[in-house]
Amino acid sequence: MTQHTIIRLGHQGDGIAEGPVFAPRTLPGEVVSGTLNDSQLTDVRIDVPSDDRVAAPCRHYKSCGGCQLQHASDALVADFKADVVKAALSAHRLETDVRPTLTSPAQSRRRATFSVKRTKKGATAGFHGRASGVIVEVTDCLLVDRALLPALEVAKALALVGSSRKAEMSVSATLSGEGLDISVQGGKPLDGPLRIQLAQATETHGLCRLAWDGEVIAARGQAFQTFGAARVVPPPGTFLQATVHGEHSLQALVMEICAGARSVADLFAGCGTFSFPLLAHAEVHAVEGDAEMTAALAAGWRAAGGLRPLTSEARDLFRRPLLPDELKRFDVVVIDPPRAGAAAQVAQIIESTVKTVAYVSCNPVTFARDTAQLVSAGFALEWVQPVDQFRWSSHVELVGKLTRL
């Protein structure tokens, strides 16, 4: 056994001591001991606890890998996530006002992806253990909305009819406007008998929609999501913000940046998370690489009726970013790229006449990289707002406001 003092938290939420030595579920200032294997401390014992250490509220915390920071106070976690953003900015010598973190409440996740596998006695469904392929059942998970928990039993039932004993299925469950929206990956190939069983399962469990490897098998209603004044039916398993609280926080921040704009480009628009709220005040051109998501966005706009003009196009913004001549008619560009960021599109924004950018990011590192390019070209980073809709994890999202000087 060796003893160490934890200096800080790493980006994955582990405590880090000099060496470096990584100790899971420890906090800055704590004195800990354990068995040192290379740089990893195992069998960790807390010798001197931090004042910010709390009792983990979930009984599954020790075995489940879904959360990394339930042993820390809410204030420490919020500060940690703001510090992750500050560190990413500092790496590019960027300074700005980093606002206090906005955190979604417990039991607010409206979507989750469960792992499920058949067993000798039936099936097991839940999340993987920490750094493990073992599935931990989480019957009373404190992350997800209570209305999402029945999806665990649905996942088990689907595994019994559609999974082999050796394979693990992935079951994505989303709360829609008319019930559970289920999308399954990794099951058996579809055939006639399986289709019949899946259709029966949809009725038995009262599912709104069931998709199998991207194909809709049965639907008892419209699996819609509400964005602004529109109802949109996303493709099965498509990306949505994790919590309604987080979504509304991000929307409010984007609306703050776009105040007074008459024409907005919404890039990496998804199914319209930002496009539809923006239509309350501006015309919007929405660009998304996924053709199905673009079609869902356009259909939602047509069905809503009476909204301001919206145009949309399916376009790969990594390979074909909007060019300066296309960008010149927009007052503000909203950009919400995946984790890889948007280097190609940022290069075109720099060459354009766009004066304001609302940058939504799920990766502070690529956000800082792209922002550094904008700042070096004459933009100012006015503020950054961290948003935490992945409570008790190390993940953090943000919105940044950039204006051309």
Question: 239 among the known binding-site residues?
Answer: no
Instruction: Enter the tokens of residue 260.
Output: 């007074």
Q: What is the mean pLDDT of residues 178-190?
A: 96
Helix, strand counts (H, E) of the chain: 9, 23
- Number of Cβ within 10 Å of residue 246's Cβ equals 22
Query: For 133-155, how does the pLDDT look when each residue is reduced to its tens digit (9 = 90+)?
Result: 899 999 889 999 999 999 999 99
Q: What confidence score (pLDDT) does residue 30 get?
A: 96
Cα 109 from Cα 147, distance rounded (Å)? 10
The angle at the Cα of 93, spanning 88 to 98, to the nearest 5 degrees, equals 55
In terms of Cα–Cα distance, which of 114, 117, 84 is closest to 101?
84
Q: Is 311 helix (H, G, I), strand (E, B) or coil?
A: strand
Q: What confidence score (pLDDT) does residue 395 get?
A: 95
Who has greater pLDDT, 314 or 134?
314
Query: For 330-355, how does the pLDDT look when each residue is reduced to its tens digit (9 = 90+)?
Result: 999 999 999 999 999 999 999 999 99
Cα 205 from Cα 145, distance rounded (Å)? 18
Q: What confidence score (pLDDT) does residue 318 get?
A: 97
Question: 268 among the known binding-site residues?
Answer: yes
Would the CATH topology of 78-105+240-404 be identical to that of 111-225?
no
Could you tell me which CATH class the domain 111-225 is placed in? mainly beta
Could you tell me which CATH class the domain 78-105+240-404 is placed in? alpha beta
In terms of Cα–Cα distance, which of 381, 382, 333 is closest to 354?
333
Please give the share of the chain, as a percent, with pLDDT higher than 90. Answer: 93
Q: What confidence score (pLDDT) does residue 164 get?
A: 85
Question: Residue 335 contacts by C-beta under 8 Å, 6 or more apart in sequence?
Answer: 267, 268, 342, 345, 346, 349, 357, 358, 359, 360
How far, in Å, are 68, 69, 77, 106, 107 from residue 58 at the CA level?
A: 12, 11, 16, 11, 11
Asked if residue 206 has pLDDT above 80, the reply is yes
Q: What confidence score (pLDDT) does residue 81 get?
A: 96
Q: What confidence score (pLDDT) does residue 283 get?
A: 98
Residues acting as catalytic residues: 362
Split at pLDDT 50, 70, 90, the class of 11 is: confident
Asked if residue 131 has pLDDT above 80, the reply is no
Question: 222 among the known binding-site residues?
Answer: no
Q: What confidence score (pLDDT) does residue 387 get?
A: 98
* Residues 383 and 401: beta-carbon distance below 8 Å: yes
Amino acid at 4: H
Question: 52 among the known binding-site residues?
Answer: no
Split at pLDDT 50, 70, 90, the class of 12 is: confident
Q: What confidence score (pLDDT) does residue 360 get?
A: 98
Query: Whole-model pTM above 0.85?
Result: yes
Query: For 219-273, how does the pLDDT look when each residue is reduced to its tens digit (9 = 90+)?
Result: 999 999 999 999 999 999 999 999 999 999 999 999 999 999 999 999 999 999 9
Query: For 361-374, how does the pLDDT look when each residue is reduced to its tens digit (9 = 90+)?
Result: 999 999 999 999 99
Cα 28 from Cα 12, distance rounded (Å)? 14
Cα 385 from Cα 364, distance rounded (Å)? 11
Q: Is 220 helix (H, G, I), strand (E, B) or coil?
A: coil
Q: What is the mean pLDDT of residues 82-102?
A: 97
Split at pLDDT 50, 70, 90, the class of 358 is: very high
Length of the chain (residues): 405
Asked if residue 286 has pLDDT above 90, the reply is yes
What is the b/e burial string over 171-184, where b = at least 16 CB atoms within 10 angstroms of the residue's CB?
A: bbbbbbebbbbbbb
Backbone angles phi, psi at 222, to 5 degrees: -100, 120
Structural domain boundaries in the chain: 3-53, 78-105+240-404, 111-225
Q: What confidence score (pLDDT) does residue 167 get?
A: 87
**Is CATH 1.10.3470 the right assignment for the domain spanning 3-53?**
no
